């Protein structure tokens, strides 16, 4: 993959500098604002087929490539926003590599939980798993197609309790935490190693001499990086989070150069006190959830953003209305701040990028 420029992103080197500075809580050239809009001069592209509807379409490597490139051709990627592609097997692909059964829907992939005795479960990564083989094949083909055109992203494997919940069912896992916590600890320890059995191979496939993209939130990193999460945390106490989540996050972050935690939903905010103390955690992204104020709203300034900035973590404020960015940036500053938004036209996007330089 070319590191000098991208067909769909002509200021790619400057974009990478923005991301690198953001990870380190600094600014390079300008602060990290990413703006997506329709392009004023879209590239000619054939209309792609309909979005995935069943397993055949989800696994259509060349069809997925055509759909993404057709989308890239119509978009203006301003500032810290860039075109990227990954091999998609839904939100928790590690489940499938561990023998889980995927259920392919119109817009996402679900996983069929298994009913088992936790004491008899031994988690093993199967490199011969057909879905793993599909992902390897897809990423190799996408790597060839990406050269000089777009960035390649590492799939978000997901980890820990979220994987166990998908493998065995949420209600079952909640019961195990009380009835057989020692077995949950054992399975989590196994997952720590399995995660990197998969991650290390995927990283070698997607990175170039400068870095690679992450498959969520339009982020690029100059080294080994991942989006990490525990959506299951919304259902457990702070003490359980400290026991069953934090040690594994610490191990995971220690094996990465950069890490972005996906904090999802108001019920997860109570764990922020533990999260900001994870020494290797670089940045946190906040998703308020449907029906709640957007991520940069003042409603979250004291409960989410101020503790995060005070702890020296970089902040990712995703999907903020364009007219609401300025107050947030003036309050928390530009260093270590990444904000993404959308505009209705490229002209509006360029104006926003220019005006935002003076904010903060």
pLDDT of 304 reads: 98
pLDDT mean by block of 10 residues, the chain; 360 residues: 77 98 96 98 74 86 93 96 97 96 94 94 95 98 97 97 98 98 98 98 97 96 98 98 98 98 98 97 96 97 98 97 96 98 98 95
According to DSSP, the β-strands at 84-85 and 101-104 are: unpaired
Please give the C-alpha separations between residue 1 and each of 144, 145, 152, 220, in angstroms, as whole numbers. 7, 9, 8, 14
Chain segment 74-92, per-residue pLDDT in tens:
999 999 999 999 999 999 9
Residue whose C-alpha is closest to residue 211's, from 65, 1, 6:
1
Please give the C-alpha separations between residue 270 and each of 103, 140, 203, 321, 351, in angstroms, as whole numbers. 32, 41, 32, 26, 38
pLDDT of 360 reads: 77
pLDDT of 3 reads: 55
Q: Give 12-356's CATH code, choosing from 3.20.20.210, 1.10.150.120, 2.60.120.10, 3.40.50.300.
A: 3.20.20.210
Q: How far apart are the first and last CA of the chain?
A: 36
Residue whose C-alpha is closest to residue 313's, from 228, 237, 232, 201:
228
According to DSSP, the β-strands at 101-104 and 109-112 are: antiparallel
What is d(CA 151, CA 80) in angstroms, rounded to the nearest whole number?
A: 13
pLDDT of 53 reads: 75
pLDDT of 54 reads: 87
The continuous run of DSSP H or E covering 56 comes out as helix 55-58
Query: Do residues 86 and 69 make contact, with C-beta atoms less than 8 angstroms apart?
Result: no
∠ CA 128-197-210 to the nearest 5 degrees? 115
Chain segment 181-206, per-residue pLDDT in tens:
999 999 999 999 999 999 999 999 99
Rg of the chain in Å (alpha carbons): 20
């Amino acid at each position: 993959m070319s590191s000098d420029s991208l067909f769909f992103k002509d200021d790619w080197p400057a974009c990478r500098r923005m991301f690198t500075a953001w990870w380190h809580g600094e600014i390079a050239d300008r602060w990290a604002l990413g703006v997506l809009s329709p392009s004023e001069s879209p590239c000619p592209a054939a209309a792609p087929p309909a979005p995935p509807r069943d397993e055949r379409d989800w696994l259509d490597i060349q069809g997925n490539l055509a759909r993404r490139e057709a989308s890239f051709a119509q978009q203006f990627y301003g500032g810290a926003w860039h075109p990227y592609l990954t091999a998609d097997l839904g939100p928790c692909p590690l489940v499938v590599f561990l023998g889980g059964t995927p259920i392919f829907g119109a817009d996402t992939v679900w996983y069929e939980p298994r009913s088992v005795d936790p004491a008899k479960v031994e988690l093993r990564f199967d490199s011969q798993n057909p879905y793993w083989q599909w992902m390897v094949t897809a990423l190799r083909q996408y790597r060839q197609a990406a050269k000089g055109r777009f960035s390649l992203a590492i799939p978000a494997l997901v980890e820990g309790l979220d994987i166990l919940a998908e493998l065995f069912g949420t209600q079952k896992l909640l019961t195990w935490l009380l009835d057989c916590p020692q077995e949950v600890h054992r399975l989590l320890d196994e997952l720590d190693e399995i995660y990197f059995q998969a991650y290390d191979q995927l990283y070698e496939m997607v990175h170039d001499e400068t870095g690679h993209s992450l498959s969520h939130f339009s982020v690029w990193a100059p080294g080994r990086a991942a989006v990490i999460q525990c959506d299951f945390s919304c259902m457990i106490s702070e003490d359980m989070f400290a026991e069953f989540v934090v040690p594994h996050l610490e191990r995971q972050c220690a094996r990465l150069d950069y890490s972005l935690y996906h904090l999802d939903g108001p019920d997860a905010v109570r764990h922020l006190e533990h999260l900001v103390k994870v020494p290797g955690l670089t940045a946190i992204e906040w998703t308020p959830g449907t029906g709640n104020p957007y991520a940069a709203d003042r409603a979250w300034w004291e409960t989410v953003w101020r503790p995060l900035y005070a702890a020296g973590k970089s902040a990712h404020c995703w999907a903020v209305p364009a007219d609401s960015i300025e107050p947030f940036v003036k309050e928390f500053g530009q260093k270590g701040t990444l904000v993404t938004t959308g505009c209705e036209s490229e002209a509006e996007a360029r104006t926003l990028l220019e005006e935002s330089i003076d904010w903060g």
